[in-house]
Amino acid sequence: EDGIRDKLVTGVQTCALPISKIYNYNSMDSIILNTSKREQVGRSASRNLRAKDLIPAVIYGQGESRICSVSRKDFEELRRSAAGGASLIELKEEGGATALTLIKDVQRHAITRQFLHIDFLEVAKDREFTTTVPVNLVGESIGVKQNDGILQQQITELTVRCKPADLPSAYELDISDLDLGDSLSIKDIGTESGVAVLQELELTVVSCVGSAHGRAEAEDESEDGEEGVDGEGDSVAEESSGEAGS
């Protein structure tokens, strides 16, 4: 269907998530949603669901898949509740069965940004799986506060492998002592027991570089230089146009 995918997942049981409120987080930081089965599939059925404020979805399990839909209102509330963190979602089906899942794929309309489709990936409670966890910077860098530095965050999430019970919602990295010219790497993040980080520990997460004042001066000088070569730039553009047309 038309739209864009944030991530891609392959693999598919059939169910629907009616309009139901999202409620508490359990010990594994999972969000619980009630689900109900549905039988109709296809583009027309998906459009009908969206007209009812539902989003078509799929649960990808071990060797099987289930077609589902989720309330648009509840899904938006879910994303707000998760606040960008890594969250497990426990789907409760009509028969009493539950599925512990992660959101692996979200498809949105390219223009309206309306949610078009969601893929859930089922995970086993006793098995390790790989996912990403966001890295949030906390505190105010001394290099920014006192020395007019500029923060550059190179890594915004870590790729980790762990069991569902050990999954952190996010990592926090204190940058309060980060001075001008300093940097912090993955090894400076306090990881939890049972969680393996799959990236090199020496990779830089954030650095404090340059200065806002120095950058502003450099930009001013650059603008002054550009004003002196406007005619030369026009000439080059004209030559390129002439070559393209020949």
Residue 94 gets the label, from left (phi > 0), alpha (psi -120 to 50) or beta, of alpha
At residue 153, φ and ψ (nearest 5 deg) are: -100, 110
Name the one residue in this structure whose structure tokens are 């026009």: 234
58-82 pLDDT per residue, tens: 889 877 888 888 888 888 887 887 7
End-to-end CA distance of the chain: 42
Which is nearest to 118 in space by CA: 2, 22, 5, 1? 5
Neighbouring residues of 70: CB distance < 8 A, sequence distance ≥ 6: 17, 33, 54, 55, 57, 118
Q: What is the mean pLDDT of residues 190-195?
A: 84
Which is nearest to 171 in space by CA: 187, 154, 191, 151? 191
Query: Is the model's pLDDT at 94 over the cut of 90?
Result: no
Banded model confidence at residue 84, pLDDT cuts 50, 70, 90: low
Q: What is the mean pLDDT of residues 20-42?
A: 57
Q: What is the pLDDT of residue 137?
A: 96
Q: Which contacts of 190-197 are long-range, i.e. CB under 8 A and separated by 24 or more positions?
A: 192/166, 192/168, 193/166, 194/162, 194/163, 194/165, 194/166, 195/160, 195/161, 195/162, 195/166, 195/167, 195/168, 196/160, 196/161, 196/162, 197/158, 197/159, 197/160
Banded model confidence at residue 15, pLDDT cuts 50, 70, 90: very low
Q: What is the mean pLDDT of residues 135-158?
A: 94
Instruction: Give the C-alpha separation, 81 to 84, whole Å.
Output: 8
In this predicted model, which residue has the larger pLDDT, 7 or 10?
7
Helix count and strand count (H, E) for the chain: 5, 15
Would you say the pTM of this structure is higher than 0.85?
no
Cα torsion 181, 170, 192, 198: sign: negative
Residue 64: count other Cβ atoms within 10 Å of its Cβ: 11
209-237 pLDDT per residue, tens: 986 555 555 455 555 555 544 444 332 23
Q: What is the pLDDT of residue 22?
A: 27
75: exposed, middle or buried (C-beta count within 10 Å: 0-12, 13-18, 19+)? Answer: buried
Neighbouring residues of 13: CB distance < 8 A, sequence distance ≥ 6: 59, 61, 64, 65, 66, 67
Q: What is the pLDDT of residue 176?
A: 96
